[in-house]
Structure 1
Amino acid sequence: MSSLLPSQSPEAPEDTGPLERERAHLTASREALRAMRADAEALDLSNVTANWVNAQVLHAQIEARIEALADMAHTPLFFGRVNYAHAPGAEQAEGALGEKFYIGRRHVHDGDGDPMVIDWRAPVSQPFYQASRKNPMDVLLRRRFGYTGGALTAYEDEHLTDADEADTTSQLLQTEIERPRVGPMRDIVATIQPEQDEIVRSGIGGTVCVQGAPGTGKTAVGLHRVAYLLYAHRERLARTGTLVVGPNSSFLRYIEQVLPALGELHVKQATVGDLVAHVPVKGVDSAEAARIKGDARMAEVIRRAVRSGIAAPAEPLMVVRGSRRWRVPAYELQELVEELTARDMRYGAAAEALPQRIAHAVLVRMEAAGEAPDDRVQDAVARSAPVKAAVKAMWPPVDPAKLVLRLLSDAEFLAAAADGLLSAEEQETIRWAVPARGVKSARWSAADAVLVDEAMDQVQRTGSLGHVVLDEAQDLSPMQYRAVGRRCTTGSATVLGDIAQGTTPWATDSWQEALAHLGKPEGHIEELTRGFRVPREVIAYASRLLPQIAPQLAPATSVRESAGDLRVRAVSAGESVASVVAACEESLGREGSIGLIAADARIPELAAALTAAGLPYLAPGEETSAEARLTLVPASLAKGLEYDYVVLDEPAAVVDGEPDVRTGLRRLYVALTRAVSGLTVVHCEPLPEALAQV
């Protein structure tokens, strides 16, 4: 392994040197990219299509192409190179000529169509991530490039077939991993590791669940998997759609620049709350009420409630056509209702089918009487007033929001739907104390909105996307898993999370159960334990909590060479806030972002102290800058975020802010593992026993 600068070049004196040649290739590649964009901008679309609809579609495609070809000046166009022993795909005959390929974020070709930069997702790029001395994959040399502010400043070579070259850690790779975190989350396309690459490139047909310890890059892996699938299956996913689901809007703002940096500009992002926003959420459930409403049993309660209005006909149906009257007896109507009920169709689909079934029964009688009715007659009978009235009585229309409103307000209705499923105490817990007067006036909670979404799906099937990425999935309730799962019933999913970071009362302890609720029981589970961001000392300190919060998980390890900066400071109660402010000031003297994480209840006091000290601060998800690098983070919003330096205020308060000790310790585990370079813990209350041990 060698890192070379121009003065260190081993080339002959008359040679310009490898670094200068690589810079020249970068310049030429950027010029080629600009030419590709200019060609797209110069396309004349007039008289190309036969109608204005096709013209609009083509125009939109060209605009998207132009947007995707934008050159990001401070983003390296390529970050690596591989030299093959033989041309990829060619017979490996003695003396065969190899090829070299530059690996980057997008494909770039010259005026003749020859590639100057290969997209990192292309098959020929995979050995850049997977090749090793044990399995060189026909790669002679792997070269990594180092950049400073968009300028190519260094390179590093690894000769995979050289038995005499010792295995060493890539310094450029280590530098990129340890680079200070300023602003939103970056892509990891230059540093993807083999175990991460295998997940990224797994096929679209199956669901993958990634159990990842803090700092293992699970979120980045999920986002890069979306980018890879869009590259490998663009036409299919352009038709069916993709979605990234995150835990909150702060998290989505933090990750929103990753996919655009990879050339994917139109992937939708949402929270679970966004997906089920059918009613205005104004209320808050108790932890126990939210747990019960999120329980998988509620799906059957909702199903029973939706179908509770189905009734047997009391009288025969009489349909008048011209001068004739046609009679369908009650028992035959009952048979139609029983048939549709037994098929367990969506309630709305069955409601649409029933008038046609009744009309067909009338047409059978018409034909038996010698008439020759056609489809138009059947449709007319199905739309007739008597048939509509009969259907409404037997299969009444259901408004999902009104149904859930009644379920939570009407004790008798809830008792009938929940019989044998929820105990009387559980029913009492989830029932509203004061019945709402209507859908608009009801104080819906987040869990109620999920129930409304379930009812909507019972009535009419929810549309399915081609692929869904679900991040921080450990915190979802079974009913929330169902809400996400029905949006990819015909597609696949990437599920990301860490059981040790589950901080909701209903947090899952089993990915197998979670996948079953998602509707993907066949999903494959991968575990990432090699950390790349969290320093060794910090992750080791936080992992002391694992035996109490997730004993089934193996502690994470860190590949970072620097041990990290870990400081635990015990102070008196009167010095607590001042010591936290001092720790923030100390951290601001270093390069990178700073996160002050504290229990939610202590945020106002700390905010006032920072203001009094003249320290500007941001809210989670806001982009840091030279003027404001400090973010004040409530512990409840820290998940998924990371900062170069973290100051953690009063761990005992973080634990006490949760409904039970186990959840509190998990919340603390999250807070401890947000640090990328250093962690300072300030406390006056006793630390949890595992952390107090020397």
Structure 2
Amino acid sequence: MRRDAESLDISDVTTNWVNAQVLQGQIEARIKALADLSGTPLFFGRLDRLPDPEPARYYIGRRHVHDADGDPMVIDWRAPVSQPFYRASRRDPQGVELRRRFGYTGGELTAYEDEHLTDPVGPAEPERTGELLRREIERPRTGPMRDIVATIQPEQDEIVRTGVEGTVCVQGAPGTGKTAVGLHRVAYLLYAHRERLARTGTLVIGPNRSFLRYIEQVLPALGELAVAQTTVDDLVAAATGIEVRGTDGTAAARIKGDARMAEVLRRAVRSGVTVPTEPCVVVRGSRRWRIPAHELAELVRELLDRGIRYGAAREALPRRVAHAVLVRMERAGEAPDDRVQDAVARNPAVKALVRAVWPEVDPARLVLRLLSDADFLAECSAGILTDEERETIRLPRPPRGVRSAKWSAADAVLVDEAADLVRRTPSLGHVVLDEAQDLSPMQYRAVGRRCSTGSATVLGDLAQGTTPWATAAWAEALSHLGKPDAAVEELTRGFRVPREVIAYASRLLPHIAPGLSEATSVRDAPGSLRVRAVGAAELDGAVVAACREALEREGSVGLIAADARVPALAAALDAAGQAHVSPGAETDDGARLTLVPATLAKGLEYDHVVLDEPAAVVAGEPDERTGLRRLYVALTRAVSGLAVVHAAPLPRPLSR
């Protein structure tokens, strides 16, 4: 198929060089999409369908493959005919007689497993997890995150194949595959609605750059090469041009991220609008046309009451004034046309009126004035913020204005909100928002603007919320996102975290998220959890020893520690001659040990995890509940084994 694309001759099929360039670009993109990926098999399953009216056999794979005659050899996993591969069961065969799963080692076919779906099943007999599925889950993890296209489960597939019109929120416990579900949903939507999404665009938003590096190979492995990935902070900084050089305290960040700031900004943007008190006189030739002040005031009030964006209203005002002039011209017996109206709208008197009553607004300058001018902030936030809250978010006036301001990430989101009040933010067709539970209401609004006319996949776990403004309920978050009617799906069946480990971590749930269902796991792994107490003087050495013991096994190893403990552990590893890397720097042939600050662990996974000093992880957060949530994240990063090494007493929920 790639050779056929490379051999295409387009020298005589286009009428001009522009069309030739466009067509050549499409061919090059096609050739790139057909590139072989080493170690990634094209097919992973087979369906033998019952005679209807005659039997049929389909091979299921990551992409469509056809032979020289154009007949399909492998069916894309996203095609409707592939759906029974994920959802059929002995209780509901969906017309399938046999399902075969293929197992690979590297790129070599090494096993297959058959399920005869027409065999009878007892009423109490549970559905079994196949051996190949178990082996795939437990396969050692090195390098970036892998796709799960061969092992998608029925409840995951239902979310993946949700239509493009609907927004879905996935509440997923650790190890349930919510991130993979979100990425595979993007791939599915690009297959089912490629022209629409190619026109409107798609975007994946993750919590940090390390996480994005970890997931960056999933969509290319599925043949999707053009999906942009970013963080909320980078997205807002790129849109506003704001360089983030400052940081906020917890209290200031919480107030700046509060949804109330949207109304404060709306008032600030409109604060410069004044009601005309003088008439506007337009001179055309020998005639003078006078629009009285009360009529101009009515036009201004009407635009304010309509609630349209500030910039659009400012552009509409001269047209409204020009229309009032044209009405007077017609009454005087003239016959003005659209060209006359355009000329009147550009008349110096009309321009002067607009500048006086509806001045231009620069979003960054406006936010800087709001945060550094106490009187202006008090005026715009009257009845919304308290005096104490105003003082908390106030900034010192920078000596050189916007360029010298030390903007924080929360300030950039405020500038983005102000920019949208002036000009509508363009909407994408679909946005995936991962680790959404950590966003502030204003950050939700920033993301919601990017999918206001499209849809979204919201992924998160309320129990893993580790910011002071973490989401308390998905209904509230979806309201801030602008998608209050989104469906909320819950994934509780885990595949990644062993049962012993998830049960240990779940001791924290009553203290951090009492309303959530406890996660279960399909995997028993006896001996996967070890908790070791040592003396304070022995802690660093015991952690290094635990890492070396984990490295004796196959797969990746993550050493997770409180951020404040990372330098000491790095020094201990270096002194012991133990190579290690930082999150996001892992490669397929590089060091297998990653030293992970607890604040960056979210979303990552390792075959073996060594957790250093749980009490320090909790103490590193501003309050106990947030600390226990951070600890919950750290405890649930392991796929095969978790070793907890501590000198201080364990947090109370874990000490029993």
TM-score interval, smaller chain: over 0.9
Matched to 1:182, the amino acid is T
SS of the equivalent of 2:3 reads: helix
Q: CA separation in 1, counterparts of 2:179 and 2:567? A: 30
The residue that corresponds to 1:123 in the other structure is: 80
- Contact kept? 2:462, 2:513, Cα under 8 Å: yes
**By how many angstroms is 1:295 displaced?**
0.5
Residue by residue over 1:43-63, the C-alpha shift from the partner in whole angstroms, topping out at 9 and shown as x without a partner, is 112232233333222222111
Q: Superposition pairs for residues 150-161 of structure 1, below 5 Å?
A: 150-161=107-118
> What is aligned with 1:261?
221
| Corresponding residue number in structure 1 for 2:250 | 287
Offset at residue 377 of structure 1 (A): 1.6
| 2:557 maps to which of 594, 597, 613 | 594
Which amino acid in structure 2 is aligned with residue 133 of structure 1?
R
SS at match of 2:297: helix
Give CA deviations for 1:525-568 in whole Å, capped at 9, x if unaligned: 00000000001111110000000000001111110142451111
CA shift at 1:164, angstroms?
Answer: 7.5
Alpha-carbon distance in structure 2 between the residues aligned to 1:172 and 1:310:
67
The residue number in structure 2 matching 1:33 is none
SS state at 1:72 partner = coil
In the TM superposition, what are the counterparts of 1:72-151 in structure 2 within 5 Å? 72-86=37-51, 92=52, 96-151=53-108
- TM-score of the aligned structures, taking structure 1 as reference length: 0.92
TM alignment of 1:423-502, pairs within 5 A: 423-435=386-398, 437-502=400-465
Residue of structure 2 in register with 1:13 after alignment: none
Quick check: 1:536–1:564 contact (8 Å CA) kept in 2? no
Q: Separation in 2 of the partners of 1:194 and 1:526?
A: 13
- In structure 2, the residue corresponding to 1:82 is in which secondary structure? strand
Q: Distance in 1 between matches of 2:28 and 2:55?
A: 37
In structure 2, the residue matched to 1:229 is 189
Secondary structure of the residue aligned to 2:170 is strand
> Structure 2: how far apart are the matches of 1:667 and 1:350?
46
Letter of the structure 2 residue corresponding to residue 105 of structure 1:
R
- CA contact under 8 A between 1:535 and 1:560: conserved in structure 2? yes
1:149 shift after superposition? 1.6
Q: Equivalents in 2 of 1:238, 1:551: separation in Å? A: 42
Q: 2:538 aligns to what?
A: 575
Name the counterpart of 2:134: 174
Change in CA separation of 1:626 and 1:564 when aligned onto 2, cut-off 3 Å: farther
CA distance in 1 between counterparts of 2:128 and 2:565 reads 46
Within-5 A mapping of 1:521-670: 521-563=484-526, 565-670=528-633
Structure 2 match to 1:514: 477
Aligned partners of 2:586 and 2:594 also within 8 Å: no
Q: Distance in 1 between matches of 2:605 and 2:636?
A: 8
What amino acid is aligned across from residue 45 of structure 1 in structure 2? I
Call closer, same or farther: CA 1:515–1:398 in 2, change over 3 Å: same
Query: Against the structure 1 CA distance between its residues 282 and 254, is the aligned structure 2 distance closer, same or farther, given a 3 Å change threshold?
Result: same
* Aligned match for 2:156, one of 177, 182, 196: 196
1:650 Cα deviation from its structure 2 partner:
0.8
Which whole-Å CA distance do the structure 2 matches of 1:500 and 1:485 have between them?
23
Q: Which residue of 2 aligns with 1:242?
A: 202
**Residues of 1 paired with 2:526 and 2:440: CA distance?**
37
On the 8 A contact 2:278/2:292 being kept in 1, the answer is yes
Deviations 1:97-144 (A, max 9, x none): 110100000000111111100000000000000000110001000000
**Residue type at the aligned position of 1:592:** G
The answer as to 2:176 corresponding to 1:219 is: no
Among candidates 354, 358, 367, match of residue 321 of structure 2: 358
* CA displacement 1:494-551 (0-9 Å, x = unmatched): 0000000000000011001000000000000000000000011111100000000000
In structure 1, the residue corresponding to 2:642 is in which secondary structure? strand
Counterparts of 1:62 and 1:203, CA distance in 2: 29
Residue aligning to 2:119: 162
Say whether residues 1:272 and 2:232 are aligned partners: yes
Worse-matched range after superposition: 162-171 or 131-140? 162-171
Whether contact under 8 Å (1:535, 1:564) holds in the other structure is no
Q: C-alpha displacement at 1:626, in angstroms?
A: 4.2
1:137-183 CA distances to partner (integer Å, 9 max, x unpaired)? 01000000011120111111000002289864311111001111100
Q: Distance in 1 between matches of 2:480 and 2:527?
A: 40
- Give the distance between the partners of 2:121 and 2:258, measured in 1 at CA: 60
Alpha-carbon contact 1:618-1:624 (below 8 Å) kept: no
Post-superposition offset of 1:368: 1.9
- Match for residue 25 of structure 2? 60
Q: How do 1:259-408 residues align onto structure 2 when only pairs under 5 Å count?
A: 259-277=219-237, 278=240, 279-408=242-371
Task: Say whether the 8 Å CA contact 1:283–1:444 is kept in structure 2.
Answer: yes
Letter in 1 for 2:649: P
Amino acid at match of 1:66: I
Q: Which amino acid aligns with 2:336?
A: P
Query: Greater shift after overlay, 70-79 or 178-187?
Result: 70-79
Tell whether 2:36 aligns with 1:71.
yes
Superposed CA deviations along residues 586-625 of structure 1, whole A, max 9, x for unmatched, are 1111111111111111111111111111111111111234
Summarize deviations over 1:452-484 as a string: whole Å, max 9, x none.
000000000000000000000000000000000
Which position in structure 2 is the counterpart of 1:22? none
Distance in 1, Cα, partners of 2:112 & 2:219: 26
Q: Give the total of aligned pairs.
A: 650
- The reply to whether residue 47 of structure 1 matches residue 4 of structure 2 is no
| CA distance, structure 1, for counterparts of residue 18 and residue 331 of structure 2 | 49
Post-superposition offset of 1:71: 1.8
Q: Would the alpha carbon gap of residues 339 and 52 (structure 1) be closer, same or farther in structure 2, given more than 3 Å must change?
A: farther
Q: What is the aligned partner in structure 2 of residue 692 from structure 1?
A: 655
Give me the whole-angstrom Cα distance separating, in 2, the residues matched to 1:326 and 1:626.
79
The answer to which of 55-64 and 485-494 deviates more is 55-64
Amino acid aligned to 2:273: I
**RMSD (Å), alpha carbons:** 1.2
Cα deviations by residue, 1:13-72 (Å, 9 ceiling, x for unpaired): xxxxxxxxxxxxxxxxxxxxxxx1111111112232233333222222111111111122
1:207 aligns with 2:167: yes
Report if aligned partners of 1:588, 1:629 keep a CA contact under 8 Å in 2.
yes
- 2: CA distance between counterparts of 1:226 and 1:648? 33
Instruction: Identify if the C-alpha distance between structure 1 residues 599 and 325 changes in structure 2 by more than 3 Å, giving closer, same or farther.
Output: same
Q: Distance in 2 between matches of 1:543 and 1:437?
A: 52
How much does 1:370 deviate? 2.1
Q: Please give the alpha-carbon distance, in whole angstroms, between the structure 2 residues aligned to 1:384 and 1:325.
A: 12
The code of the aligned residue for 1:157 comes to D
Q: Sequence identity of aligned pairs in percent?
A: 76
Alpha-carbon distance in 2 for matches of 1:466, 1:73: 32
SS of the equivalent of 1:679 reads strand
Q: Contact (CA 8 Å) 1:302, 1:417: kept in 2 or not?
A: yes
Query: Partners in 2 of 1:530 and 1:51 — Cα distance?
Result: 57
Q: Specify the SS of the correspondent of 2:414.
A: helix
Unaligned runs of 5+ in 1: 1-35, 87-91
